[in-house]
Amino acid sequence: MLKQRLQQKLLQKLSPQQIQIIKLLEIPTIQLEQRIKKELEENPVLEEGFDDGDDPYTATDEMNAQDSPTEGEQENDQPDEQEEFSIDDYLEDDDIPDYRLNLRNTSPDDEKKEEIPFSVGSTFHDYLMSQVGLQEFSDKEKQLAQYIVGNIDEDGYLRRDIENIVDDLAFTQNISTTEEELTRILKVIQEFDPPGVGARDLQECLLLQIERKDHENPAVVLAHKILRDHFNEFTKKHYKKIQDRLNVSEKELKAAIEEILKLNPKPGSSFSDPMNKPVQHIVPDFILEIDEGRLNLSLNSRNVPDLRINRHYAEMLKAYNESKKKPSKEERDTITFVKQKLDSAKWFIDAIKQRQNTLLLTMQAIIDFQKEFFLTGDETKLKPMILKDIAEKTGLDVSTISRVANSKYIQTPYGIYPLKYFFSEGLQTDSGEEVSTREIKAILQELINNEDKHHPLTDEKLTEILQKKGYQIARRTVAKYREQLNIPVARLRKEL
């Protein structure tokens, strides 16, 4: 049963400008430049630069002032009240502008029918396919070889079982073959460049590469034996066991290990095509300079243009407002369009300004908090700092600080750092001092770099050393920090 009733609700909604500011806060400088270019293309009222230092809002302010005449003006205009119209009168008309009634069923992809030039390079699989064409294969063997190459991953490995490939060929390609025939063709592919391609595991990959080496070299012969017969011991760095079983000296074993370390565990990565090589560009959002002990922070706005509102459109709207004759339907459509674009331009300029102020305020708070680090560049000077600390110093919300820190970088005399680098948890020392986990990681890295590689430090030993230095830390925490630093366990750090 349907019922009608009145209900009051209290809702909190973000204004369009607030949403715009939030989106602009999240993007880094390189994307901001693209966003501004897009807005300049879409909004004819918005343009680059300032006019002789004039405030870009002057024309808009004059336009708004025309919407609200003074009392004197109202008295003088009383006789012509029925002949004059304000902007609000124009917009209160019931007619819907024509541009709102136009339906566009074409997508952006349909509109871009012109051909766009692009560059194409040779891929790793194209390189392998070209080598297939150089072999004396029959038509069937060529199809099988191409199918095998298609299953080789970017690292150069064939990670699918031959048995499964036989079934795939039978069901999807209607090609009947055997495991023996596929294995024979795979052996041919394993002779392709780069060496090691088509291997089914790491051991086979390294063996394929060592077999192409000069076997008159004793170190190469010994390396081949190690990879073939003692691969498990080699991966676990049980060098003493290998030395005893092969009855070789430490010097001979070391020479063989050096030959193995020259091999490429990912042969596919050795094929590099500059046309397809991904390039990551980092444009710093902030620039920090040190001048006689003073930290000078600035925004990197080198490629971000100044914005202003086009005077022509503001004056056009002002002229329509001052006109005493009733505008036509086309003129009303024009007024509506221009006013919307003026509002949009003003909102966008305000959002850019607020973004800059928020970024500077947040970054300045981070610099004040981590002043010792920015003066010296010493990682051990970093203090424990979380988002809430900066939110309290700036008076901003934690979510706003998070958006500022996301994907932003600062250029310092010591290098370029992501803002997230300066945030870390803290631990207490014996003296009760709060230290950053980054300081502990830096000390941990230094201890491992300076350890005796014949007898590397275990996690227990590292924990003991840190505790002697006054850092109350558990062994499992040391293991966690070591893994975060991408450092293997002591056994795998052992060298001859």
Instruction: Annotate the chain with three-state secondary structure.
Output: CCCCCCCCCCCCCCCHHHHHHHHHHHCCHHHHHHHHHHHHHHCCCEEECCCCCCCCCHHHHHHHHHHCCCHHHHHHCCCCCCCCCCHHHHHCCCCCCHHHHCCCCCCHHHHCCCCCCCCCCCCHHHHHHHHHCCCCCCHHHHHHHHHHHHCECCCCEECCCHHHHHHHHHHHCCCCCCHHHHHHHHHHHCCCCCCCCCECCHHHHHHHHHCCCCCCCHHHHHHHHHHHHCHHHHHCCCHHHHHHHHCCCHHHHHHHHHHHHCCCCCHHHHCCCCCCCCCCCCCCCEEEEEECCEEEEEECCCCCCCEEECHHHHHHHHHHHHCCCCCCHHHHHHHHHHHHHHHHHHHHHHHHHHHHHHHHHHHHHHHHHCHHHHHHCCHHHCCCECHHHHHHHHCCCHHHHHHHHCCCEEEECCEEEEHHHHCECEEEECCCCEEEHHHHHHHHHHHHHCCCCCCCCCHHHHHHHHHHCCECCCHHHHHHHHHHCCCCCHHHHCCC
Residues 201 and 165 in one domain: yes
Q: Is the peptide bond before 194 cis (omega within 30 degrees of 0)?
A: yes
Alpha-carbon gap, residue 284 to 28, rounded angstroms: 8
The answer to whether 64 and 88 have CB atoms below 8 angstroms apart is no
Among 422, 449, 480, which residue terminates a domain?
A: 422
Residues 334 and 381 in one domain: yes
The answer to whether 196 and 264 have CB atoms below 8 angstroms apart is yes
Residue 102: per-residue pLDDT? 54
Residues 417 and 430 in one domain: no
The answer to whether 405 and 387 have CB atoms below 8 angstroms apart is yes
Alpha-carbon gap, residue 239 to 249, rounded angstroms: 11
Q: pLDDT digit of tens for each residue in the chain (496 aa)?
A: 677 888 887 766 666 667 777 888 888 887 888 888 888 888 888 887 754 444 444 433 433 444 444 444 444 444 444 444 454 554 444 455 555 555 555 555 554 444 544 445 578 888 888 888 888 888 888 888 888 888 888 888 988 888 888 888 888 888 888 889 889 999 999 898 888 898 989 999 999 999 888 888 888 899 999 898 888 888 888 888 888 888 888 888 888 888 888 888 888 876 655 445 555 678 888 999 988 888 999 888 776 778 888 888 777 777 777 776 676 777 778 778 888 888 888 888 888 888 889 999 999 999 999 998 899 888 878 888 888 889 999 998 888 888 888 888 999 998 899 998 888 876 766 666 667 777 788 888 888 888 888 888 888 888 888 888 888 888 888 888 888 888 888 877 877 6
Alpha-carbon gap, residue 461 to 49, rounded angstroms: 62
Alpha-carbon gap, residue 439 to 479, rounded angstroms: 16
Residue 112: per-residue pLDDT? 46
Alpha-carbon gap, residue 493 to 242, rounded angstroms: 17
Type of residue numbered 63? M
Residues 409 and 291 in one domain: yes
The verdict on residue 8 lying in a domain is no
Residues 437 and 373 in one domain: no
Task: Find the domain containing 480 and state its range.
Answer: 426-493
Residue 433: per-residue pLDDT? 64
Residues 298 and 416 in one domain: yes
The verdict on residue 64 lying in a domain is no
Residues 400 and 434 in one domain: no
Letter string b/e over residues 169-206, b meaning 16 or more CB atoms within 10 A of that residue's CB: beeeeeeebeeeebeebbebbbebebbbbbbeebebbb
Residues 179 and 230 in one domain: yes
Residue 492: per-residue pLDDT? 77
CA 170 to chain centre: 43
Among 394, 422, 450, which residue terminates a domain?
A: 422
Residue 378: per-residue pLDDT? 84
Tally of structural domains, the chain? 3
Residues 155 and 186 in one domain: yes
The answer to whether 436 and 313 have CB atoms below 8 angstroms apart is no
Residues 337 and 222 in one domain: no
Give the residue carrying structure tokens 């450092």: 487
Residues 238 and 344 in one domain: no
Residues 406 and 456 in one domain: no
Residue 127: per-residue pLDDT? 87
Using a cut of 0.85, tell me whether the model's pTM lies above it: no
